[in-house]
Amino acid sequence: MSVLIFVELDEGKIKKSSQEAIFYGAKVAETMGTSATAVVAGQADQSELAAAGRFGATKVLHAADGKLNEPNGMAYASVVAAAAQQEGASVVVLAKSSLADAMAARLAGKLKAGLAANAIELPDLSDGFQVKTSIYTGKAFAYTNLTADTKILAIKKNTIETEETDATATVEAFSPALNDGDFGLKVTNTEKATGDVLLPEADLVVSAGRGLKGPENWGIVEDLAKALHAATACSKPVSDLDWRPHHEHVGQTGIKVSPNLYIAAGISGAIQHLAGVNSSKVIVVINKDPEAPFFKSADYGIVGDVFDVLPRLTKAVQAL
């Protein structure tokens, strides 16, 4: 009857979004009067695994088979399904990511589980199992009843504010039988930006649009992002023009973000762009056009030239 949380690693460390998932799962477990168990696949230090306890997991199942060292959504989904069976878990929690999204779907099929794909609050267990989810790309919410015996909650970033304790989790080796069929994909090449803050994980995002006039001008965006330890993002036209890579494109057909702070420079704010960013806690818009529709959806606005304003903001952050 326990709650199971899939914990994703990044270079051997528990990802920040997974810390949130553990905390969220532990809260659900508390309401259900049960315990929270984390499941981790791939290589990790025992001390890092035990740290799952800081966020509320009492136990960590560690699937350390060398075949799992490379992230593999299908194999990981099989590991989590096996863990759910072993633990008799009726709720599985994951933090949304490119890996977890693919896993959640396979898991829903494997466990015949009802999946809330964009949960944004703790579930209400007072009458059945209901959870608030984000739909229409952030333009609306649905109160979704999960009616199957097993429930999967894939949570968006910033669904819950985490708290830490000094607790440690007990770590158990977990060695489910692996299925050859899960290893049919061959990764032939990986390109990944290193050293940068990953956009879906970022608490702060500095985004820019066509108002920057060309890719050669992105230095002022990167400078502000660096000063803030923020991720950089862009609008769809900028990614379509190849000024910036596609994985930085936020909006209806790009990445959906929900950071604490989203700064938009030189982006007019088409409804498709707003859809991807409107669950951000605080939105700042900088645009030289006072009529830019984005100002209507912003918390703070500056009508001004981005080439003047961005460097001044960077200096002000550096002076803090």
* Residues 143-162 interacting with other proteins (rule: CB under 8 A): 143-148
Where in 26-65 is the site for other proteins (CB under 8 A)?
Answer: none
Q: Tell me which residues in 164-223 interact with other proteins (CB under 8 A).
A: 181, 184-193, 196, 198-201, 203-204
First CA to last CA distance, the chain: 49
Q: Which stretch binds other proteins (CB under 8 A): 29-37, 48-56, 212-220, 312-320?
A: 312-320
Burial class (CB in 10 A: 0-12, 13-18, 19+), 124: middle
Q: Which of 114, 116, 115 is nearest to 132 (CA)?
A: 116
State the DSSP code for 195: S
> In this structure, are residues 265 and 221 in contact, taking their beta carbons and an 8 Å threshold?
yes
Q: What's the closest the beta carbon of residue 67 comes to other proteins, in angstroms?
A: 16
Task: Show the binding pattern over residues 114-143: x = contacts other proteins (CB under 8 A), - = does not.
Answer: xxxxx-----------x-x-xxxxxxxxxx
The residue within the footprint of other proteins, chosen from 101, 158, 218, 222 (CB under 8 A), is 101
Stretch that binds other proteins, among 52-60, 86-94, 208-216, 241-249 (CB under 8 A): 241-249
Q: Which is nearer to other proteins, 30 or 203 (CB)?
A: 203
The span of 42-50, 160-168, 169-177, 310-318 binding other proteins (CB under 8 A) equals 310-318
Judged by CB under 8 A, the stretch of 31-39, 85-93, 170-178, 239-247 that binds other proteins is 239-247
Q: Where does residue 257 rank: exposed (0-12), middle (13-18), buried (19+ CB within 10 A)? A: buried
Which is closer to other proteins, CB of 209 or CB of 301? 301
At residue 189, what are phi and psi to the nearest 5 degrees? -165, 140
Whether 155 contacts 258, CB under 8 Å:
no
- What angle (nearest 5°) sits at the alpha carbon of residue 42, between those of residues 37 and 43? 105
